[in-house]
């Protein structure tokens, strides 16, 4: 097992700490890598590697043809593989399909690169103004959102036949990882926050709610939590009762993200007090200007500046009988199905993206900052902060990819997603905290995005189910069924 034997040099390095050369700031990419990038950009000048590449229409075909250089890379890679296959018995096993292939297809890699470039060049520059003003400036947003839409980067979580990205769950998580490199307010406004349960729209609802939301013309909020019902969502007290051809809504929701600006609300209400989660909870689509509905107040938060969280009140609020989303009594199930992918992508994948950004910052700083006459990255205690972060990010990334793959195979990934919700949110907090430590006083200052990331990361242990609730679910399932991987 030659590949597993570490060279003497490697062992010495592991014992004595990293060599100086490995602590230098990230090197410029090699000429060959630069050329590959140029080739890619030349072929795909707008970075249009997403929907255009996926659609079997003329534009998609033209764009696919234009990236001939990537096909050439693919051919080269195949040649290298088959050479390796002949030499290496282990690779022959892979060829027969007995081993898992973790490689990312070229088309997906292009898409992810496009999103990363877009986030770095178009979105991250807006972060400071959002933090300072607590709003996403309308003029800059109009330009950036239009660019994202033109590239097919809006509502990427939704199926292609309703105008979304048409991505697999694995692809969607890879994209969300890149989104995680910027703030939630900007992700919402530039790339869209389209709740997957909108796929339950039927009849007129499709044109009135689903399509305009996917297109970016309407903003939607999802209202489940109440002052008296948080973790125990089935204990809500907001009610809906039928009166002739109308539902009458009464109750209060709070902490509702975008509740202050949403064009309409997906509201969870009780339609049968005895049945509750077992057929007594229904989802409704409530327009913003409906009499009886009002935004009672906005609720200032520790982080996530740039979008609001609101208390919403419903007092004898009358909506049409046809405003039910999905089936009467089917609301709890629909919410639970939808939040699975939201948790995986918005918490799991985004946590990996934010943590990677923090790790890149601390790695660079450790290779540049000198104290006591040497680079701080040569101090073993600083190395530990970096090593622990890299290790944890890798672990969570693999968990996210594994669960996403399960979902793509139609498998039940609920337990895994609960584990990921806990592991990702807690990893994210620890990594950003370590990054602040590596930067010292600079890490605590508002000159760097780390203090924002620190505040923003905190809530991921609370919303979409607290760490305690998800641990409870994992424990119950593991005690009952054992660990099902
Ligand atoms: C920034 C932000 C945005 C949000 N956005 C939305 C939104 O858009 N829509 C929406 O509907 N909601 C939203 N929420 C609400 C969020 O989902 C809830 O805050 C969350 O579910 C927790 O509920 P709670 O705050 O009532 O806490 P509680 O349920 O009161 O929990 C308090 C504490 O008790 C613990 N606890 C509760 N039950 C158990 C148990 N069985 N075992 C062990 N410990 C337990 C919890 O883990 C927690 O530590 C948002 C919240 C925030 C902060």
Q: Strand 264-270 vs strand 220-223: parallel, antiparallel, or unpaired?
A: parallel
Architecture of domain 338-481: Up-down Bundle (1.20)
Q: Which residue's C-alpha comes closest to atom 17 of ligand 1?
A: 463
**Of 420, 419, 428, whose CA–CA distance to 352 is shortest?**
428
Q: Which residue's C-alpha comes closest to atom 41 of ligand 1?
A: 469
Atom of ligand 1 nearest to the CA of 229: 26
The per-residue pLDDT for 55 is 36
Atom of ligand 1 nearest to the CA of 224: 11
User: What's the 426 CA to ligand 1 centre distance in angstroms?
Assistant: 16
Q: Which part of the chain has CATH 1.10.540.10?
A: 106-215
Atom of ligand 1 nearest to the CA of 232: 29
Question: Which tokens in the block code for residue 8?
Answer: 């003497």
The per-residue pLDDT for 306 is 98
The per-residue pLDDT for 100 is 82
Tell me which residues of the chain have a pLDDT lower than 70. Answer: 1-98
The per-residue pLDDT for 385 is 98
Size of the chain in residues: 485
468 lines ligand 1 (CB under 6 A): yes
The per-residue pLDDT for 413 is 97
Give the CB-side neighbour count of residue 63, counting CA atoms within 13 A: 22
Atom of ligand 1 nearest to the CA of 303: 1
User: What's the 465 CA to ligand 1 centre distance in angstroms?
Assistant: 6
**Of 350, 365, 358, whose CA–CA distance to 431 is shortest?**
358
298 lines ligand 1 (CB under 6 A): no
The per-residue pLDDT for 231 is 98
Q: Which residue's C-alpha comes closest to atom 7 of ligand 1?
A: 256
Three-state secondary-structure class, residue 76: helix
466 lines ligand 1 (CB under 6 A): yes
Q: Which residue's C-alpha comes closest to atom 11 of ligand 1?
A: 224
450 lines ligand 1 (CB under 6 A): no
314 lines ligand 1 (CB under 6 A): no
The per-residue pLDDT for 68 is 33
User: What's the 225 CA to ligand 1 centre distance in angstroms?
Assistant: 8
Where in 352-466 does DSSP place strands (E)? 370-371, 374-375
472 lines ligand 1 (CB under 6 A): yes
301 lines ligand 1 (CB under 6 A): yes
pLDDT 10s digits, 314-347: 999 999 999 999 999 999 999 999 999 999 999 9
User: What's the 460 CA to ligand 1 centre distance in angstroms?
Assistant: 10
User: What's the 336 CA to ligand 1 centre distance in angstroms?
Assistant: 15
CATH topology of domain 106-215: Butyryl-Coa Dehydrogenase, subunit A; domain 1 (1.10.540)
User: What's the 135 CA to ligand 1 centre distance in angstroms?
Assistant: 25
304 lines ligand 1 (CB under 6 A): yes
Give burial (CB, 10 Å; 0-12/13-18/19+) of 121.
exposed
DSSP state of 283: E
462 lines ligand 1 (CB under 6 A): yes
CATH topology of domain 220-325: Butyryl-CoA Dehydrogenase, subunit A; domain 2 (2.40.110)
Which whole-number Å values give the CA distances from 442 to 131, 446, 447, in the listed order? 17, 8, 7
**Of 174, 479, 182, whose CA–CA distance to 344 is shortest?**
174
User: What's the 470 CA to ligand 1 centre distance in angstroms?
Assistant: 12
The per-residue pLDDT for 98 is 63
255 lines ligand 1 (CB under 6 A): yes
Q: Considering Cα of 328, then 162, then 304, then 450, what sign does the dihedral take?
A: positive
């Amino acid at each position: 097992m030659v590949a597993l034997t570490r060279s003497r040099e490697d062992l010495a390095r592991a014992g004595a700490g990293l060599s100086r050369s490995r602590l230098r700031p990230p090197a410029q990419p090699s000429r060959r890598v630069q050329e590959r990038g140029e080739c890619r950009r030349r072929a795909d000048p707008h970075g249009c590697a997403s929907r255009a590449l996926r659609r079997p229409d003329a534009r998609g075909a033209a764009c696919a043809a234009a990236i001939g250089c990537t096909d050439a890379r693919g051919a080269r890679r195949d040649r290298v593989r088959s050479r390796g296959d002949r030499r290496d018995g282990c690779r022959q096993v892979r060829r027969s399909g007995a081993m898992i292939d973790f490689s990312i297809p070229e088309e997906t890699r292009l898409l992810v690169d496009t999103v990363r470039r877009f986030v770095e060049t178009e979105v991250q520059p807006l972060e400071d103004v959002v933090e300072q003003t607590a709003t996403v400036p309308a003029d800059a947003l109009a330009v950036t959102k239009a660019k994202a839409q033109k590239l097919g980067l809006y509502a990427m979580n939704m199926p292609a036949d309703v105008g979304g990205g048409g991505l697999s769950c694995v692809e969607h998580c890879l994209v969300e990882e890149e989104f995680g490199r910027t703030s939630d307010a900007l992700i919402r406004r530039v790339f869209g926050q389209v709740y997957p349960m909108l796929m339950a729209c039927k009849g007129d609802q499709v044109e009135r709610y689903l399509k305009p939301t996917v297109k970016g013309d309407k903003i939607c909020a999802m209202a489940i939590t109440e002052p008296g019902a948080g973790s125990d969502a089935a204990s809500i007290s907001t009610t809906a009762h039928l009166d002739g051809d109308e539902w009458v809504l009464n109750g209060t929701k709070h902490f509702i993200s975008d509740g202050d600006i949403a064009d309409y609300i997906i509201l969870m209400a009780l339609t049968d007090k005895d049945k509750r989660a077992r057929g007594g909870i229904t989802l409704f689509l409530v327009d913003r200007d409906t009499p009886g509905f009002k935004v009672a107040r906005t609720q200032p938060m520790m982080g996530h500046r740039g979008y609001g969280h609101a208390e919403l009140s419903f007092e004898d609020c009358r909506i049409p009988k046809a405003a039910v989303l999905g089936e009467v009594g089917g609301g709890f199930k629909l919410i639970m199905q939808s939040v699975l992918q939201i948790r995986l992508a918005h918490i799991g994948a985004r946590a990996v993206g934010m943590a990677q950004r923090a790790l890149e910052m601390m790695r660079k700083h450790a290779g540049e900052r000198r104290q006591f006459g040497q680079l701080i990255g040569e101090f073993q205690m600083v190395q530990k902060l970096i090593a622990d972060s890299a290790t944890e990010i890798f672990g969570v990334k693999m968990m996210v990819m594994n669960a996403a793959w399960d979902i793509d195979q139609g498998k039940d990934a609920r337990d895994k997603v609960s584990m990921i919700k806990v592991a990702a949110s807690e990893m994210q907090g620890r990594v950003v905290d370590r990054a602040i430590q590596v930067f010292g006083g600079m890490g605590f200052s508002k000159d760097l995005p780390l203090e924002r990331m620190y505040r923003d990361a905190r809530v991921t242990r609370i919303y979409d189910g607290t760490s305690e609730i998800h641990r409870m679910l994992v424990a119950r399932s593991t005690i009952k069924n054992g660990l099902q991987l």
